[in-house]
Each structure stands twice: as C-alpha cells, then as structure tokens.
Amino acid sequence: MAKHHIETTVNGDAVEFLCETEETLLDVLRDTLNLTGSKEGCASGDCGACSVTLDGRLVCSCLVLGCEVGGRRIETIEGLAKGEKLHPLQQKFLEHAALQCGVCTPGFLVASKALLERSANPTEHEIRFWLAGNLCRCTGYDKIVSAVQDAAATLRKG
Amino acid sequence: MRYEAPESVEGAVALLTAATGETRVLAGGTDLLVQMRADIVDPDLIVDIKKIAETRAVTEEKGGWRIGAAVTGAELKEHPRLKQVWPGVIEAANLIGSTQVQGRATLGGNLCNGSPAADSVPALIAAGAVATLAGPQGRRDLPVEDVMLGPRKLALRKGEIVVSFLLPPRPPRSSDAYLRFIPRTEMDIAVVGAGVSVTLDSGGTITAARVSLGAVAARVLLVQEAAQAIIGTRLDAPAQQRLEAAARAACRPIDDKRGTVEFRTDVAAVLTRRAALIALDRARTS
C-alpha cells in the first residue's frame, strides 16, 4: 500500500516525510530526516539511546511508529544546543567526563533535560530512577549523576 | 502492513471485525513494536486506538473512576486524585518499565499483552476493576480477572477491544498496595507480583478484601482463600500466617531463570503479607 504522508514538528521546524507502517520514529529520524544523533542500541525499549520527547513526554523513538507522529511536537538531541552554544547539560557532561564512547549520551541528555523540566533540583535517588531506562557501559553512572546535578544548579541560577 | 487510527470505538471495531488477516490493536506499543521487531508477530492491520477520546480519558463515574485503556502510566502518576484513592493501582502501573516506557505504556496494553507477569493486572484485580469491552455485538463488562485466560490468550472475541476500566466506588477506610519481586531495582519482569485491597470498619477490622497474585500461574490469579483468611481480622499474627498459607497454596508457578517453583512460592507468601500490611496501614490513615 501507499506510504504514509506525515506532517509534524521536529525541534521547532515543520517537517514532512513518507514512511512505511513498520518504520519506527527512530528509523524516520535517522534514515529519512538525517537526524542521526538518536542512536539505536537495543531496538526494544531497554537502553534509552533513542530517547526523544513527544509533546514533551519522554519516550523511546524505537517504540513509536513513524505514522503515529502526525501533528505532534518532537524534540531530539539535535535541538539541545542553540547554534554553537551548548545546553548546560551538554557542557556539564563534558566537564564531568560523563561519557566515554558516547553512544548512550544523546539519550541521557534528552532524558535528563526532560527530568530537569519537571524537577529543578532532583535528588540523586530521583535522577537514578528517572534514568534507569538509559544504559551506559562506560561511565558507571556516577559521573552522569554528578553532571545532571551540576547542570541543574546552573539552570536554577538562570 | 496497514495502519489505521480511527476516532471512534465503532470505527475501531468495524476495522477489526472486517479484517481477514492478522490484526493487532496498538495502544502504547511497548510490547507490540518489540514483538514486530523480533518477528514474533507480523500483523496485516494495526488499529491505533489512541485517537479515540474514550480510551484516553480519566473520569469520575458513579463514585468510582473510569480509566481509558490507552491512558499512559506517566499520566496516571500525574493525576491529582487517583494516587490517593488507588495508590496500589498507580504504583503497579508505574513499575512497568522505564520513564520512557511509562510515557507510552497503558493499562489496556498491559492486560491485552496477555502476560501472567503483567504488573498492573494483579493491582487491577485486587481493586475489583471491571473492563469495558466493545465489539460487533455491542458493549459488555468483564471483571479483569476474567479477561486473561492464559499466556497470550484473552477472552476477547473477534473484533472486540478493551475501551476502559472502571474502578469501583471506595468506602471510607479503604486502600490497596502492590509489591513485586525482581532481581534488580528497576526495569525487569516480575518474578512474583502481589496486589491487596482492604476495607476496614471504624474499629480497624477488615470487612472486605481482595488478593491477587501475578507470575505464579498461567494467568494472574484472584485468590479468594487469601482474602477470606484476613476478612474479620485486624491482620494480627495468626491472620498473617493464614494469609501466607493461602497465598502459598494458590501458587502453580513455572521454574525458569528468574526463579524456581520453591522460590516463587515463598516470595508470593512474603509479598502478599507485606502488601496486605501496607494496604492496611494506608486504609487506617485514608
């Protein structure tokens, strides 16, 4: 059957694309819209490397069909920095060495941003539970937690 | 693969009834998309029910609460009232997967995925929740414990969908709780899940109770003997022992990498007692 014609918003830009029913939002972002920041780790919703927000709600883009997102508001890792200016979370991840290989990092950043939009001063417990769906094989997580706390402090100062 | 997102229950039922090949209902997709990816299912038609307003609403009805089948775990958690009235149902729904999964996963999907280890199902059964189904012959209500017949087997007829769940009116001094055991602290499938709901009289004696166990049989169980063991008591030590014995007797678990028969049976007894104590404590202060 014919492909679906979808019009939606990605990082504030109106976009349109064609997709097959079985293509996920992650497939569309990476292969059609060339937004390759979101990564495919497990393709089963366990690792969080493909995290994006859909109308402000954190989701795994590997568990959303491309044909579901018409008229929605999608935010990806590519929308985090403003031009050359890094988001405080990105800056603090660098300062705290909260990444090594970097494959999980876009997902952690998108998920952490969603957390800080809901909770300006999260506890370590809150951060660890919120990020339980983001897996990292390199850092051991402590540096990520520190970076999120430091970024939260920066954002609170405004 | 055809995808349809009708805006009415009748539209969804008509699509599913008329379909000749394999069909799947899409709510949150956190199970369906994984199964499609793993080539476990290859539907000819996917009917997305999220554009049907009824499946996405949480409303008060006759003193109870009606929850749409496609309301997400994250939305349930953020609801201003549900957590006070049905803390066990909300904590169970919020144990399903990660923050990301919570943004999509639904009560309807958790039930219709047909897993005996589904976290929200024991809590819904303990709550006395009734599922409202719609099909080509119209609507019918089915207690949640009667919806799932076995692993991946549902009592739904061709063309039928779960539209919503009705949680009954809550008398004073009532509450519920859900506990599960998993090998890690987050993001795993229940080895055992226990849901308990109680109502107390003004003296603190249990006047009504429902107990449900997940992951210890081919379907989620309503354990009436366990409820009978604590009704008329204040959940003192002998009542707790009878409760544990009844929970243990109901278990018919499998042996697998997550837990042996003996382990699951022991844990079922412990979790049932602990969930009952939490529900009792909540009911006293509700």
Q: What is the pLDDT along chain B (286 residues), one digit of tens a residue?
A: 999 999 999 999 999 999 999 999 999 999 999 999 999 999 999 999 999 999 999 999 999 999 999 999 999 999 999 999 999 999 999 999 999 999 999 999 999 999 999 999 999 999 999 999 999 999 999 999 999 999 999 999 999 999 999 999 999 999 999 999 998 777 788 999 999 999 999 999 999 999 999 999 999 999 999 999 999 999 999 999 999 999 999 999 999 888 999 999 999 999 999 999 999 999 999 8
Residue A10 sits in the same domain as residue A41: yes
The pTM of this model reads: 0.96
Query: Does residue A110 share a domain with residue A55?
Result: no
Q: A13 and A68 in one domain?
A: yes
Chain B residues touching A68 at Cβ < 8 A: 5, 26, 29, 48, 50
CATH code at position A61? 3.10.20.30
Q: In this structure, are A104 and A51 located in the same domain?
A: no
Whether A8 and A74 map to the same domain: the answer is yes
| pLDDT tier at A40, thresholds 50, 70, 90 | very high
Look at residues A32, A53, A79 and tell me which one is the last residue of a structural domain: A79
Domain with residue A99: its CATH number is 1.10.150.120
Interface check B34 vs A, CB under 8 A: yes
Q: What is the pLDDT of residue B286?
A: 84
Looking at the predicted structure, is the pLDDT value of residue A158 above 90? Answer: no
Domain that holds residue A97: 88-157
Nearest to B187 among A58, A62, A132 (CB): A132
Residue B149 near residue B219, CB atoms below 8 Å: yes
Q: Which of 3.40.50.720, 3.30.465.10, 3.60.9.10, 3.30.565.10 is the CATH number of B51-167?
A: 3.30.465.10
Least Cα separation, residue B100 to chain A (angstroms): 4
Return the DSSP state at A147: H
Could you give the angle at the alpha carbon of B221 between the alpha carbons of B276 and B99, nearest 5°?
70
Domain positions in chain B are 51-167, 174-285
Shortest distance, CA A71 to any CA of chain B (angstroms): 12
Q: Which overall architecture, per CATH, does domain B174-285 show? A: 2-Layer Sandwich (3.30)
pLDDT higher than threshold 90 for residue A1: no
Inter-chain residue contact B36 with A22, CB threshold 8 Å: yes
Mean pLDDT of chain A: 97
DSSP string spanning A19-87?
Answer: E-TT-BHHHIIIIIS--TTS--SSSSSSS-TTEEEETTEEEEGGGSBGGG-TT-EEE-GGGTSBTTBPP
Whether residues A97 and A36 share a domain: the answer is: no
**pLDDT tens per residue across span A71-98:** 999 999 999 999 999 999 999 999 999 9
Residues A101 and A36 placed together within one structural domain of the fold: no
CB contact under 8 A, B50 and A68: yes
What pLDDT, on a 0 to 100 scale, did the predictor assign at position B188?
A: 84
Mean pLDDT of A23-43: 98
Q: Which of residues 159-188 of B touch A (CB under 8 A)?
A: 185-187
A46 and A107 co-located in one domain? no
Query: How much of chain A, in percent, has pLDDT values that exceed 70?
Result: 99
